[in-house]
Chain A
Amino acid sequence: MSNPTYTAIFYLFAAITVFSAAFVVFSRNVIYSAFSLLFTFFGIAALYVFLSADFIAVTQVVVYVGGILVLLLFGVMFTNNIMDTDLKTDVLHAIPGTFLFLGILAALLFTFYTTNGWMPSDTQLQGSVVERIGFETMSRYVLPFEMASILLLAALIGAAFLARYDNGGTNEH
Chain B
Amino acid sequence: MEQLTTIGINHYLTISAILFALGLYAVMTRKNAIVVLMGVELILNAANINFLAFSHYNGGMEGVMFSLFVIVLAAAEAAVALAIIINIYKIFKSVDVSSIDSMKE
- Residue numbers of A with Cβ under 8 A of B are 1-2, 4, 6-7, 10, 14, 17-18, 21-22, 24-25, 30, 33-34, 37, 40-41, 44, 47-48, 50-53, 55-56, 59-60, 63-64, 67-68, 71-72, 74-76, 78-80, 89-94, 96-98, 100-102, 104-105, 108-109, 112-113, 118, 120-125, 129, 132-133, 136-137, 140-141, 144, 148, 151-152, 155-156, 158-160, 162-163, 166
18 extra A-B contacts, CB within 8 A, seeds A51-B52, A79-B86, A156-B76: A1-B6, A1-B7, A7-B7, A14-B15, A18-B15, A33-B35, A44-B45, A47-B15, A48-B49, A48-B52, A50-B7, A52-B56, A56-B67, A71-B79, A75-B37, A100-B28, A129-B61, A151-B72
- Secondary structure dominating the interface of A: helix
Query: 23 A–B contact pairs at CB < 8 A?
Result: A24-B22, A30-B35, A48-B48, A51-B52, A56-B68, A60-B48, A68-B78, A72-B41, A72-B82, A90-B31, A90-B32, A90-B96, A91-B29, A92-B31, A101-B21, A101-B24, A105-B18, A108-B13, A113-B10, A120-B58, A132-B64, A144-B69, A156-B79
Task: Known A4-B5, A112-B13, A144-B69; judge A76-B34 contact (CB<8 A).
Answer: yes
